Homo-oligomer: A and B are copies of this chain.
Amino acid sequence: MLGISRQIDAASGAGDIRRCIMEYVYSFRDGIDDRLLMGNKGANLVSMTKLGFPVPPGFIITIKAYERWRETGSIPDGAIEKAMVELEKEMGKKLGEGLEVSVRSSGATSMPGMMDTLLNLGDMDEVKVAVRQIFGSWDNPRAVEYRRLNRISSQLGTAAIVQAMVYGNRDDDSGTGVIFTRNPATGETGLYGEYLVNAQGEDIVSGSRTPEPIDTLSMAMPKVYSELEAMAARLERHYCEMQDIEFTIESGRLYLLQTRSGKRTGNAAVRIAVEMIDEGLITGEEAIMRVSVDELRSLLHKQIQEPVTQRPLAKGLNAAPGAASGVVVFDAPEAVVQSRKGKAAILVRPETSPDDIQGIAAAAGVLTQKGGLTSHAAVVTRAMGKPCICGAEGIDIDLRKKTVHIDGLEIKEGDVVTIDGTTGLVYQGELPLQESTITTYLKDLMSVADGFKRLGVRANADTPDMIEQSLAFGAEGIGLCRTERMFNAPERLFAIREFILADNQEERFRAVERLRELQTMDFKELFKVLNGAPIIIRLLDLPLHEFLPPEKDVTDPKMRQRIEELQEINPMLGHRGVRVAVTTPEIYQMQIDAIETALAEVPANVSVMVPQVITSQEARAVKRMLKNSHLKFGVMMETVRACMRAGRLAEVVDFFSFGTNDLTQAVYSFSREDAEKRFLSTYLSHGILRDNPFEFLDVKGVGRLMETAIFWGRRVKQDIEIGVCGEQAGEPRSITYLHHIGVDYVSCSPFRVPIAKLVAAKAAIRARVYHTKGDGHERAQQPAVAR
């Protein structure tokens, strides 16, 4: 999405000027490279024609003409006829007398397969009817739904392209195909694609015949293949982007019908971006701007846990990577039904069509019997970042009985399967999935991002394992290490309960001593794996009663009584965090001692953080417990009062870390669990709130408060470090905002670290571009990948 809207912004300024001189119809030779007028496909045909590529001649009835048609119902007849006369002249044939034309749509943004195409028209009236049909198809339900899903404006409109037909089905020296200049699944360099001998393009798209891999063309028609290879390379260099090219061979002569930026998997997007930098095709900034968050997210998708011992049932094309388990469904509506029930569904179809869009969106993955890597199912799922296997010819679907036979096994609707879109393998039942790992290309891209971004990216991790994983995912440190878990293993739970139930100072002391030993060990384990990365340890946040068992499970009268005493009406706003340290300093003192003891044995870059602070006096009280002056000391900014008193707090601490979960609850007076259970969905569906503030940081309320706190914090202590460790710290839109308000780092879940880095780099680059407008960074007139 970012890519598109940025380029629309960039193009529209120029477009406004051009619109003043534009007309209704342009030949490919006279057209201009403006996709807001020519449409996307039209602009490409114009520029290919001008670059001298063998494009069958034709003309474009512009978006301006479409707009007039929408307003008045009339199309510019005279202009079309005039253009047709010129086309006839160029072709040396009359319409209907050896010359046929196709009429296609050319929207300002690509909507593959959503609109109509008419072929083999040989009469002027047919052409005029076809143009009206194309214009009308902009508002067909499929296209409307596609635009809604992809947030494309309905105002953009479409042009119509009239183009001389060339025939891939003329003879056995003819054919048609689709190639990518690189592998759209992996990003590998070299032509990738398919072709069919003696066939039209529609034969490939519909999946009615199974095409052959493109390299077989080098044997069948070596000269054509070399031409194609050279043209592909030239087009890629021209657009500085991987191209998706449609071609037709008519009796040994090569024609290019279309070129556009090719859709690709996340893995491919990353590899292509990185390699294009090396090839000198694009800059680092462009690489960062081109890889979308959704692409990155898709490649951070889950995989089947290695080693996989189970025998696969079937194999198809690995059309979209990632793995998913779910119940088998045989039509799109059923996928929606299951998804509403909260069930993951695998949509199994002979092939998919644009009518299935909603079902694909609702499904966890797609499996088709027919169709290749460029079939509808493949393209759509890749864009959505969902696993997909296409062309699994070994499966036999019976749509009426709602069964599929695979490898002698009958699978019914509701049975569970697992698909692996990375390998193309289908398995029976639910296989354990694991999070993805980081490729070299991703690492390289992250290094590029690191070079641009200003915002630090850390991870939330509580265990040595999670710390290792965080660092592997590129985290620059641990921004939030919660210590609650350390109390939850049985031995510790026993000790903390002893502490809570202690009758006298001595019992209390003994319990604390035990905890101190255990926590010291814990901290040493954590420090060992850090490898120099900084870690921020949050002292205990939970109220003590959370460590006691549920009252109903307790018979011991003393424990029952204590549980009753500790019960709270609003635990979220109760006796927790630093409040426990004020009334019972022993636990924080124990935690701090344990950190300091561990640190003496295992050196590390450690900060200590105090939760739930409302006044600098609390921070001072805890700070007095520190003995080691090397420990950095900070507070969670998760109460409104802490934000209002940021100046005072800054006098006491080295850093602030905003806890946007609790802060949002306090700003809204919403208990998150209660809100989500009771009323938040109504708020969203009635449009009273635009977004769930627990997912997207609420800029106007919570954000403004944070800005105030940052202002006062920095005013008092210029170099105070400012972090954010709520859940929204991993959400792209929120990260962009946090970059802009001058936060030093975000801390999110390990798996979100690469996304956070990419978003942070994009934000930094975009800010720079805005500040140095017209420096030529926005050179591409065609859209980047449209997500």
Contact = CB atoms under 8 A, between A and B. Distances in A.
Contact of A668 (B639, B667, B688): B639
Given A615-B689, A687-B617, A689-B617, A575 B678 contact: yes
Contacts of A605: none
A701 interface: yes
Interface stretch (A177-185, A320-328, A431-439, A563-571): A563-571
Interface string A701-726: 11011000000000000000000000
B582 A674 contact: no
A587 to B, nearest CB: 14
Interface in A39-54: none
Interface stretch (A444-452, A640-648, A774-782): A640-648
Interface string A632-652: 000000111100110000000
Interface residues of A, number: 48
B682 A582 contact: yes
Nearest to A621: B688
A511 B666 CA distance: 35
Interface string A451-466: 0000000000000000
Nearest to A681: B583
Interface in A620-679: 621, 638-641, 644-645, 662, 665-671, 673-675, 678-679
Given A615-B689, A617-B687, A669 B582 contact: no
Given A679-B579, A686-B582, A701-B640, A612 B669 contact: yes
Given A583-B679, A617-B687, A572 B569 contact: yes
A700 interface: yes
A336 to B, nearest CB: 25
Contacts of A644: 667, 700-701, 704-705
A370 to B, nearest CB: 11
A23 to B, nearest CB: 45
Contacts of A583: 678-679, 682
Interface in A461-509: none
A688 B582 CA distance: 9
A506 to B, nearest CB: 22
Contacts of A682: 582-583
Interface of A: 568-575, 579, 582-583, 612, 614-615, 617-618, 621, 638-641, 644-645, 662, 665-671, 673-675, 678-679, 682-683, 686-689, 698, 700-702, 704-705
10 contacts: A570-B573, A571-B674, A572-B669, A575-B675, A579-B683, A582-B683, A640-B668, A640-B669, A641-B698, A644-B701
